[in-house]
Amino acid sequence: MTQPLPEYLRDDIARNVAFALEEDIREGDITAQLIDDDSTSEATIITRESAVMCGSAWADEVFRQLGDVQLQWHVTDGDRLTPDTALCTLSGNTRQILTGERTALNFLQTLMGTATAARRYADAVGGSRVTILDTRKTLPGLRAAQKYAVLCGGCDNHRIGLYDAFLIKENHVTACGGITAAIERARALSPDKKIIVEVETLEELQEAAELKPDQIMLDNFSAQMLAQAAQMATSSALEVSGNLTVENAGGLPAGRDWFLSSGALTKHVQAVDLSLRLHR
C-alpha cells in the first residue's frame, strides 16, 4: 500500500532534517575528514527485521541538504518488508554518505517503527467496524511525521494539534461548568470546527449525545459500559480510549462503527533495526 505524502508535510520535513543535521554535525564531521574529499562510493540500506516502510522523503532530504548523494529506492512507503530487504541504494560522495548515515537511519528507524506498530493494530481489527486512531502523544518535533507514519501503517489520524478540532476533556468540562456549557461555547467560538467530547459515565454520554457533537470519546469504559453505550441512540461517532490493546482491539461490541484511539502507536515506538553498508 503506497501512502501519498501529504502536502502539509513538506515544510516540516525540511525543518526536521535541518535541525537533525545541525545537532549532529555542528562545526563539521571530523571522522569523515579522514576520507579523500573527492572519494565516491555506493551504499545500501537494509532492514534486519520485518517492518512497514516509511520515511523515504526524510532520508532523501538528508542527502539533498548535504549535497551530492543520489538515492534509488527499491521499496515505497507503506510496503511490508521482510528481513534483509534492501530499502535503497545510495551513490555519490563518500564523506556525505557517511555524514548523513545516522541522521537518515534515525528518521527511517523511528518512522518505520511507528508504521509497523500501526500495521499491527490495523491487522488486529481487520474485517471489523473498528477504525484505529492515533493521538497527540507523539515525539516532540515529529508530530506530522509520525502521523504520516500511522497512515502508512493502515490506521487513521485523530486531530493533528490543538488548532484543528475541539477535544473537550474532563478538565475543560470542569473549567467550563459542565458538558453542555463546554459544547455550546465551542459552537459559538468556531462553528466550523469538529467537536469531540470526552465522557466518563453513561450519564455523561447521554448528556453529550443529546447535544450531537461530532464524536464522543468513552474514557476507560468497562466492557459492560461499552455494551450499554453501543445500545444507546446517538448520532455522534463513538470513540474508545483506554483499557484496550492490540490484543483485544477487535473485541468491541458488534453492530456499529467504532473509533479506537491509542497513544501506543506513537509513544511506545520501538525503532526498526536498519543497517547501511558501504561498497567501495
Enzyme catalytic residues: 102, 137, 169, 198, 219
Q: How crowded is the C-beta side of 43, counted as CA atoms within 13 Å?
A: 25
3-state helix, strand, coil in the chain (%, to 5): 40, 20, 35
- Nearest of 30, 112, 3, 105 to residue 62 by alpha carbon: 105
> What does the block give as the cell for 220?
476507560
Dihedral of the alpha carbons of 69, 73, 78, 82, in degrees to the nearest 10:
-110
> What does the block give as the cell for 38?
573527492
- Cβ neighbours of 257 (radius 10 Å): 11
Strands (E), the chain: 40-47, 51-52, 69-73, 80-81, 86-93, 130-133, 165-168, 194-199, 215-219, 237-241, 258-261, 274-279
Contact 207, 180 (CB under 8 A): yes
Cα 112 to Cα 153: distance, rounded to the nearest angstrom: 9
* Integer CA distances (angstroms), 66 to 22, 59, 217, 263, 270, in order: 11, 11, 45, 34, 28
Cα 216 to Cα 179: distance, rounded to the nearest angstrom: 11
- Nearest of 269, 267, 264, 271 to residue 105 by alpha carbon: 271
